[in-house]
Amino acid sequence: MINNSIWLKGVKTKANKKLSEDIDTDILIIGGGITGLSTAYFLMNKDREITLIDKGKIGYGATSYSTGKVTYLQDTLIKGNSEKEDLYLASQIDAVNMIKNIIIENNIKCNYESNSSYLYATNKKEIKNIKKIENILKRNNIEYKIKNSDLLYNSIYSIKVDNTATINPAKYLLGLKELLNNNIKIYENSIAEDIDYKDSKFVVKVNNNCIRCNVLVVATHYPFLVSLGLIPFKTHVEKSYLTAFNVEKNKKLNAIAQSGNNSIRYYSDDKDYMIYCSCSDKLGKNIDNAKKIGDLSWEVNSKYNTKMKYIWNNCDIMATDFIPLAGKIEKNLYIATGYSTWGITNGSLSAKVIADNILGITNKYTELFNPTRTSNIINLVVSNLSVGKTYILSKLIKNYSFYTNVSVYTKDGIRYGKYIDDKNVEHIVYNKCPHMKCNLIFNSVDKTWDCPCHSSRFDIDGNIVHGPSHYSIKVEKN
Ligand SMILES: Cc1cc2nc3c(=O)[nH]c(=O)nc-3n(C[C@H](O)[C@H](O)[C@H](O)COP(=O)(O)OP(=O)(O)OC[C@H]3O[C@@H](n4cnc5c(N)ncnc54)[C@H](O)[C@@H]3O)c2cc1C
C-alpha cells in the first residue's frame, strides 16, 4: 500500500529557485495552491508586477490531497437563508464553468472528465435534507433527476445533476504553474514568516530576506498569522482519510453522502480506480489514526471486496456558515480560506473575487465571501467550544500508552515529545505548536506530531509538514 495521495504518483517537478535577496513587487501572493495560483492567473497580463511564493514545492498542499471533484451539487448547499443559498449555488455553477474554460483555453492536461454528480442519503434525516436541496435546485431552474441509486453503496435515495466534472488536482496545479512561470515571478521553498506595514508597503519576512509589496494576498489554506482575519475563532478544521483502489470500470460519476461523511469518485489512469473518502471528523475528535485506517480498510474490503492501494489524509477549514472567507480584510491585504471541503470551486472563485477587487472590477460574490462578515453567533460559539475542548484535551493528554516508542515529558518547565525509530534512534522535539501553543499529538500512521486544534503538522525531527505554523519545533542540539 502506498502512503500518499494518488495524484502525486510519478509527479517529478523541478522547483523554482528559493528567494535569496530582498525584492520589491507590486502584488505578492503567498501560497501556491489552487487559490494562490488561480489569483495569479486572473491577475497576469494586466500590467501588474506579480510575485508568488510557496513554502515548499508547488502542488503539495491540500489541493493535491483532495478528491478533485468540480461540482455544484454539494452537501453544504443549505444555508437557512434562500437569498444566500441561491447566490452560493450560482457561484458554484460559475466556478465549475470557469475551471472548465481555464483547462480548455490553456490545454491543461489534468485528466478532466465531464461526468454526473450524485448526492445520496443513507437514512431518513439525510433524505429530508436532500429534499431541501431539491427545492434550492428547483427554485433556480437547475435540472436534476431522482435516482434509484444502485450505483452507490448503502444509499436509499439520491439525486443526480449533470455538467459537473472531476480532475487530477495535482496536474491542474502544475499546469497552472507552467503557464504562470512565463508571466510572473515564482519562488519555491520560500516561507513567509511575518508581515509588517511600513511606509505604505507590506513588508513580508521570507527566509532571511524580505519582500516589499503594495498588495498582499495570503492564500496559505490556513492563514499563518492568527491576527489575519482572526480565522481560528471563525472556523474549525476537519480531517478525513482517503483511499484509492482498483475497480473493474470507471462509472463516470462522483458522489457525496448528504452527511458529508462519505465521498466517492472514479479515475482512469493506468487502470480504473475508485477514490473513496470516509471517517470525516473534527480535528482532534478521534486521534487514533491507526484505528481510522483499520476501519477504512475494513469498509473497502466489505463494501467493494478489494484492498486499498493508496491511503492519505487531508484537512480543510470549515467556516461556520460553510461560505468561504475570502476578500479584503484591511488596506490592500486579502485572505482566502474556509472552503468547507469545496475548495476546488471555492478556491478558484475566491481567487476571482480577490483579483477583481484588486483590479477594481465589480464581482457579485464579494459581499457573500466577505471575510470580515459577522458570523452566525450560535455556530460560532459551537465551533469555538469544540476547538476549545480539543485544546484543553490536548493539554490533558500527557502520555501515549498505546505506543511504546513515543513519549511526552516535561523538563525544566518545557514540554518535549520523543519518538524512537526502528534503529533505536531518539528524535526529540518541542511538544508545543508555535501557532497557538496547543500540545501536539503523535500520529502513528504518518509519523508526525499533529496539532489537534488547527492542523499544523511536524515530522519526527520537528520540521514543518503543514501549516498554519510557520516555525519548526526543532530542539537545537548542543
Ligand atoms: C478529504 C477532502 C477532500 C476534498 N475534496 C474536494 C473536492 O473533491 N472538491 C473540492 O472542491 N474541494 C475538495 N476539498 C477541499 C480542498 O482540498 C481545499 O479546500 C483546497 O484545496 C484548499 O486550497 P488552498 O489553495 O487554500 O490550499 P493549498 O492547496 O493547501 O495551498 C496553500 C499553499 O500555501 C503554501 N503555504 C502555506 N503556508 C505558507 C507560508 N507561510 N509561506 C509560503 N507558503 C505557504 C503551502 O505550501 C501550499 O502550497 C477536499 C478537502 C478534504 C479535506
CATH code (residue 442) = 2.102.10.10
- How many Cβ atoms are within 10 Å of 2's Cβ, its own excluded? 13
Phi, psi of 246 (to 5 degrees): -75, 140
Q: Taking residues 149-164, what's their average pLDDT? A: 85
Q: How confident is the model at residue 401 (pLDDT cuts 50, 70, 90)?
A: very low
Q: Are residues 167 and 52 in the same domain?
A: yes
Q: Taking residues 374-399, what's their average pLDDT? A: 60
- Ligand 1: does its nearest atom lie under 6 Å from the Cβ of 186? no
Closest CA to 155 of 119, 111, 113: 119
Q: Is the pLDDT of residue 45 over 80?
A: yes
Return d(Cα 217, Cα 26) in angstroms, integer.
Answer: 11
18, three cell numbers: 528559493
Among the atoms of ligand 1, which is closest to the Cα of residue 254?
8
Q: Is the pLDDT of residue 394 over 70?
A: no
Q: Are residues 349 and 399 in the same domain?
A: no
Helices marked H in 140-248 — which ranges?
169-181
Q: Please tell me the predicted confidence (pLDDT) of residue 437.
A: 87
- Ligand 1: does its nearest atom lie under 6 Å from the Cβ of 457? no
Q: Taking residues 408-432, what's their average pLDDT? A: 91
- How many Cβ atoms are within 10 Å of 141's Cβ, its own excluded? 6
CA 67 to centroid of ligand 1, rounded, Å: 11
Q: How confident is the model at residue 402 (pLDDT cuts 50, 70, 90)?
A: very low
Q: Is the pLDDT of residue 83 over 50?
A: yes
CATH code for the domain in which residue 334 is found: 3.50.50.60
Q: Is the pLDDT of residue 7 over 80?
A: yes
Q: Has residue 167 been placed in a domain? A: yes
CA 341 to centroid of ligand 1, rounded, Å: 9
Q: Has residue 476 been placed in a domain? A: no
CA 123 to centroid of ligand 1, rounded, Å: 31
CA 395 to centroid of ligand 1, rounded, Å: 28
Residue whose cell numbers read 475497480:
247
Domain end: 342, 377, 412, which one? 377
* Residue nearest atom 18 in ligand 1 by C-alpha distance: 343
Phi, psi of 282 (to 5 degrees): -60, 140
Q: Is the pLDDT of residue 88 over 90?
A: yes
Strand partners, 430: 416
Residue whose cell numbers read 435534507:
129
- Ligand 1: does its nearest atom lie under 6 Å from the Cβ of 277? yes
Q: Are residues 454 and 324 in the same domain?
A: no
Return d(Cα 279, Cα 456) in angstroms, integer.
Answer: 19
Q: Are residues 136 and 282 in the same domain?
A: yes
**Lowest mean per-residue pLDDT among 128-132, 139-143, 176-180, 378-382:** 378-382
Please report which helix (H) or strand (E) contains residue 335, including its range.
strand 333-337
Closest CA to 373 of 331, 332, 338: 338
- Ligand 1: does its nearest atom lie under 6 Å from the Cβ of 168? no
Angle at 295 between CA 307 and CA 67, to 5 degrees: 70
Q: Are residues 64 and 213 in the same domain?
A: yes
Q: Are residues 280 and 415 in the same domain?
A: no
Give DSSP secondary structure letters for 351-411: HHHHHHHHHT---TTHHHH-TTSPPPHHHHHHHHHHHHHHHHHHHH----TT-TTEEEEEE
Using DSSP's 3-state secondary structure scheme, residue 345 falls into helix
Residues 6+ apart with CB under 8 A from 363: 352, 353, 356, 357
Q: Please tell me the predicted confidence (pLDDT) of residue 356.
A: 98
Q: pLDDT above 90 covers what percent of the chain? A: 66
Domain end: 320, 345, 377, which one? 377
Q: Please tell me the predicted confidence (pLDDT) of residue 387.
A: 59
Q: How confident is the model at residue 163 (pLDDT cuts 50, 70, 90)?
A: very high
Three-state secondary structure string covering 144-167: CEEECCCCCCCCCEEEEEEEEEEC
Q: Are residues 254 and 360 in the same domain?
A: yes
- Ligand 1: does its nearest atom lie under 6 Å from the Cβ of 316? yes
Q: Please tell me the predicted confidence (pLDDT) of residue 239.
A: 87
Q: Is the pLDDT of residue 283 over 80?
A: no
Q: Is the pLDDT of residue 384 over 90?
A: no
Top mutation candidate among 39, 54, 117, 464 for ligand 1, by most atoms within 8 Å of CB: 54
Q: Are residues 260 and 373 in the same domain?
A: yes
Q: Please tell me the predicted confidence (pLDDT) of residue 408.
A: 87
Identity at 210, one-letter amino acid code? C
Q: Please tell me the predicted confidence (pLDDT) of residue 465.
A: 87
Q: Please tell me the predicted confidence (pLDDT) of residue 293.
A: 86
- Ligand 1: does its nearest atom lie under 6 Å from the Cβ of 240? yes
Q: Which residue has the higher pLDDT, 470 or 203?
A: 203
**Lowest mean per-residue pLDDT among 37-41, 237-241, 398-402:** 398-402
Q: What is the pLDDT of residues 250-267, one digit of tens each?
A: 999 999 999 888 899 999
Q: Which residue has the higher pLDDT, 394 or 366?
A: 366
Q: Are residues 311 and 439 in the same domain?
A: no
Q: Please tell me the predicted confidence (pLDDT) of residue 314.
A: 92
Q: Are residues 124 and 268 in the same domain?
A: yes
CA 219 to centroid of ligand 1, rounded, Å: 9
Using DSSP's 3-state secondary structure scheme, residue 468 falls into coil
Domain end: 344, 377, 410, which one? 377
**Lowest mean per-residue pLDDT among 107-116, 245-254, 380-389, 466-475:** 380-389
Return d(Cα 65, Cα 275) in angstroms, integer.
Answer: 11
31, three cell numbers: 501560497
Q: What is the pLDDT of residues 177-220, one digit of tens each?
A: 999 999 999 999 999 999 999 999 999 999 899 999 999 999 99
219: exposed, middle or buried (C-beta count within 10 Å: 0-12, 13-18, 19+)?
buried
Q: Are residues 357 and 400 in the same domain?
A: no
- For the whole model, what pTM was predicted? 0.89
Q: Are residues 424 and 278 in the same domain?
A: no
Q: Please tell me the predicted confidence (pLDDT) of residue 196.
A: 93
Q: Please tell me the predicted confidence (pLDDT) of residue 381.
A: 59
* Exposure letters 350-377 (e unless 16+ CB within 10 A, then b): bbbbbbbbbeeeebebbebbbbeeebee
Q: How confident is the model at residue 385 (pLDDT cuts 50, 70, 90)?
A: low
**Lowest mean per-residue pLDDT among 111-115, 176-180, 239-243, 442-446:** 442-446
Mean pLDDT, the chain, as a whole number? 90
Number of domains in the chain: 2
Q: Taking residues 150-163, what's their average pLDDT? A: 86
CA 35 to centroid of ligand 1, rounded, Å: 8
State which residues form the domain around 45: 6-377
Return d(Cα 374, Cα 322) in angstroms, integer.
Answer: 13
Identity at 109, one-letter amino acid code? K
Q: Please tell me the predicted confidence (pLDDT) of residue 396.
A: 56
Q: Taking residues 412-438, what's their average pLDDT? A: 90
Strand ranges (E), 219-286: 235-246, 253-257, 263-268, 272-282
Closest CA to 6 of 391, 333, 311, 373: 311
Q: How confident is the model at residue 233 (pLDDT cuts 50, 70, 90)?
A: confident
Q: Taking residues 305-319, what's their average pLDDT? A: 93
Q: Taking residues 320-341, what's their average pLDDT? A: 94
- Ligand 1: does its nearest atom lie under 6 Å from the Cβ of 344? yes
CA 183 to centroid of ligand 1, rounded, Å: 23
Among the atoms of ligand 1, which is closest to the Cα of residue 61?
30
Rounded (to 5) percent helix, strand, coil in the chain: 25, 30, 40
**Lowest mean per-residue pLDDT among 189-198, 284-293, 360-369, 440-449:** 284-293
- How many Cβ atoms are within 10 Å of 378's Cβ, its own excluded? 9
Please report which helix (H) or strand (E) contains residue 290, including its range.
helix 289-304
- Ligand 1: does its nearest atom lie under 6 Å from the Cβ of 40? no
- Ligand 1: does its nearest atom lie under 6 Å from the Cβ of 28? no
Provide the total of helices (H) and of strands (E) in the chain, helices listed first: 8, 24
Return d(Cα 305, Cα 22) in angstroms, integer.
Answer: 57
Q: Taking residues 333-347, what's their average pLDDT? A: 96
